[in-house]
Amino acid sequence: MIKIISAPTNLTTHKNDIKILMKLSYNASFRDICIPESFFDEKFDALQNYLNNKQCQLLLAKNTTDNHIIGLCHFFIKDDFNQKIAHLNQIAVLEEFQGKRFECINKNGGGADIMLSNNANTSIARELIYTMEQQLLQSGINKIDLFVSIDNLKALQLYKNLDFKEQRKLMIKDIYE
């Protein structure tokens, strides 16, 4: 069984699992860049600090069979033109669990219990996002934004299936002498 839970304040016991998920997320977005291991240590430490200072929220998908973290959803609240909105900063699911269908057997605003099932209608990523949405609605927040790389086709499809709409484009230009 997989449990969707709010992360504990201290992430130390899950550091390796979380760093693996961070690597998956960054590698999906920045395929052509070799990112050093020290970068992920810094990102983990920053995430831990954000949690300690209540500057972000983190949901985890925990495999209850072995207690490993197999998915994460990292988001924070920001002010956007006098409106509070959520920014989905990072979502990742271990590759061996991507595309697998699950059945939700217990769902509430604080998390969910899901089980692998051939005729199911949800996924770990969907349940992470659903749980985030429920927590946001309970806080009076009804808008989420995110950035996604144009070549991250799995993420683009997930967001489209969950009714995210494209509103802006980030444009980049390399300049030379």
Q: What is the pLDDT of residues 108-131, one digit of tens each?
A: 656 667 776 666 778 899 999 999
What is the predicted pLDDT for the residue at 60?
Answer: 95
Q: Using an 8 Å Cβ cutoff, are 92 and 21 in contact? A: yes
Q: In Å, how far are 83, 125, 140, 161 from 165, measured between CA atoms?
A: 18, 18, 21, 10
The CATH architecture of the domain made up of 2-161 is: 3-Layer(aba) Sandwich (3.40)
Q: In Å, how far are 63, 83, 87, 94, 145 from 80, measured between CA atoms?
A: 36, 5, 10, 32, 10
Closest residue by Cα to residue 72 from 49, 88, 50, 55: 88
Residue the block writes with tokens 């990072």: 90
Instruction: Give the separation between CA 6 and CA 72, rounded to whole angstroms.
Output: 10
Whole-number average pLDDT of the chain = 90
Instruction: Give the separation between CA 87 and CA 78, rounded to whole angstroms.
Output: 7
What is the predicted pLDDT for the residue at 29?
Answer: 86
Confidence of residue 134 (pLDDT cuts 50, 70, 90): very high
What is the predicted pLDDT for the residue at 110?
Answer: 63
Q: What is the pLDDT of residues 34-74, one digit of tens each?
A: 999 999 999 999 999 999 999 999 999 999 999 999 999 99
Q: Using an 8 Å Cβ cutoff, are 134 and 142 in contact? A: no
Type of residue found at 21:
L
* HSE, side-chain direction, 13 A CA sphere, residue 159: 20
SS3 of 74-101: the string is EEEEEECCCCEEEEEEEEEECHHHCCCC
What is the predicted pLDDT for the residue at 170?
Answer: 82
For the chain, domain boundaries = 2-161
